[in-house]
Amino acid sequence: MTTEPSSDSLEGLLDSARHDYKALGSRGLSLDLTRGKPAPAQLDLSDELLSLPNGRYTSADGTDVRNYGGLQGLPELREIFAEVLGVPVGQLLAAGNSSLELMHDCLVHALLSVVPGAESRWVDQERIAFLCPVPGYDRHFSLCRRFGIDMIPVPMTDAGPDMDVVERLVAEDPAVKGIWCVPKYSNPDGVCYSDETVERLAGMRTAAPDFRIFWDNAYAVHHLTDERVEIADLLAACAASGNTDRVFVFGSTSKITAAGAGVAFFGSSPANVEWLLGNNSKRSIGPDKINQLRHVMFLRDADGVRAHMERQRALLQPKFEAVGRILDAELGGTGLAEWTSPKGGYFVTLETEEGCAKEVVRRAGEAGIVLTPAGATHPHGDDPRDAVIRIAPSYPTLEELEQAILGLTVCVRLVGYERRQGLD
Ligand code: PMP
């Protein structure tokens, strides 16, 4: 517990924050902490991909990867990621370059063609809603918005979405057709779903017979510490609960090899896989198997993926440590903010006092430090508490990052103390 400063000392704290902010502004910074992009040094780790497949053009079963076909993706690549994503190889597709694209397509197909277990197409229903654990990933929310899907925020806990709320909402409203989940090292708060959360998601009673969990396992192997967090197997738990078709699993190598030039995966029940393949066969004659083959040659096996991710971690971990160290030193004990110390993934969440986040982001922007807009972590960009700021430490160099986080702490102090003064 921190004690509220007296207004005398508040005056002093505010003076020094104003002084530091002025100094910050005069430095002419131009730093960007907006999106979770890998840094060039991380991408360099996969440079070898650029010279592969190096004259080879047949897959293990003799398929000529230069030609059309093979909608399910190369078996040897699916073999590697079956283990990484915890999906039986026969139920895993290796697709294009983007898992977000797969999520988009699943929504479109569910709207326009009947998903297994559905009575009708989603587009024919008066209202469709998705549960959106918050804070969450803005691009999930953009997809809902794009397709007119209502978004119902659900609070996150440190074990995943608040399951009492989830269970109540899915049981009472047949319009609730889905939930967005980033189950491991969640974007943005780094939460890993507990075994109990996974069990409850698998077993809960849903009013909609065609309810789907969009299980976006984007950070499955993206550890930042020695503790390699593992989460329970939702696909198996759904099957064991008799809700076999409930989950769509997504993943990609975007933050393993090359962002936007990797391979995306879809895993699900046999019926869902058949459904997606059937729909995809109208959309494509086959994925980019040359890219899939070069990923097989480069990564080799699941151990190869893990070894590669250790090299990624060596570049990322010092950045996350720097963020934690600076936040501790500058804001620790002030009561102005709290922040996460994620064990993996790509983000740190900074939570300011209520009503401060937008102003902190604005002030930081004026001082040359661009942050993800406050509110982006909530449906419609509306964080009702105006408190959550997502920090993406991966892209800047360590030195730039340190400057940016230090500058951010100045803004948090300035806005926080100004607000407290206003409340006096
Ligand atoms: N899901 C989550 C949770 C993400 O954070 C990201 C990337 N920021 C994506 C999906 C996008 O993945 P892809 O590049 O495979 O489309």
pLDDT tens digits, residue range 160-195? Answer: 999 999 999 999 999 999 999 999 999 999 999 999
Amino acid letter, residue 42: Q
Our answer on whether the CB atom of 254 is closer than 6 Å to any ligand 1 atom is yes
- Please tell me the pTM assigned to this model: 0.96
The residues pairing with 133 across neighbouring beta strands, listed in sequence order, are 154
What gap in Å lies between CA 256 and CA 262, rounded to an integer? 8
Give the domains, in start order, of the chain with CATH numbers: 7-43+306-423 (3.90.1150.10), 49-299 (3.40.640.10)
Task: Give the tens place of pLDDT for each residue, 354-367.
Answer: 999 999 999 999 99
Mean pLDDT in residue range 335-362: 98
pLDDT at 11 over 60: yes
Read off the pLDDT band of 423 (50, 70, 90): confident
What gap in Å lies between CA 417 and CA 398, rounded to an integer? 28
Concatenated DSSP letters of 82-108: HHHHT--GGGEEE-SS-HHHHHHHHHH
User: Is the separation of the CB atoms in 198 and 290 below 8 Å?
Assistant: no
Return the SS3 of 370.
Answer: strand
Q: Work out the angle between the directed axes of helices 398-423 and 357-366 (0-180°, nearest 10).
A: 130
Distance 35 CA to ligand 1 centre (A): 11
Mean pLDDT in residue range 50-72: 96
pLDDT of residue 1: 39
Q: Which residue has a Cα nearest atom 5 of ligand 1?
A: 187
Our answer on whether the CB atom of 243 is closer than 6 Å to any ligand 1 atom is no
Give, for 234, the enclosing helix (H) or strand (E): helix 234-240
Mean pLDDT in residue range 278-283: 96
**ipTM of this complex > 0.95?**
yes
Our answer on whether the CB atom of 103 is closer than 6 Å to any ligand 1 atom is no
Distance 227 CA to ligand 1 centre (A): 23
With tokens 């699993």, the residue in question is: 249
Distance 214 CA to ligand 1 centre (A): 13
Our answer on whether the CB atom of 348 is closer than 6 Å to any ligand 1 atom is no
Cα–Cα nearest to 180, from 148, 147, 153, 199: 153
What gap in Å lies between CA 24 and CA 20, rounded to an integer? 6
The residues pairing with 369 across neighbouring beta strands, listed in sequence order, are 31
Mean pLDDT in residue range 279-295: 97
Return the SS3 of 21.
Answer: helix
Mean pLDDT in residue range 203-223: 98
Our answer on whether the CB atom of 216 is closer than 6 Å to any ligand 1 atom is yes
DSSP state, residue 64: B
Our answer on whether the CB atom of 100 is closer than 6 Å to any ligand 1 atom is yes
Mean pLDDT in residue range 270-282: 97
pLDDT at 6 over 80: no
pLDDT of residue 4: 53
What percent of the chain has a predicted confidence (pLDDT) above 90?
Answer: 96
Mean pLDDT in residue range 366-383: 96
Distance 190 CA to ligand 1 centre (A): 14
pLDDT of residue 2: 45
Our answer on whether the CB atom of 291 is closer than 6 Å to any ligand 1 atom is no
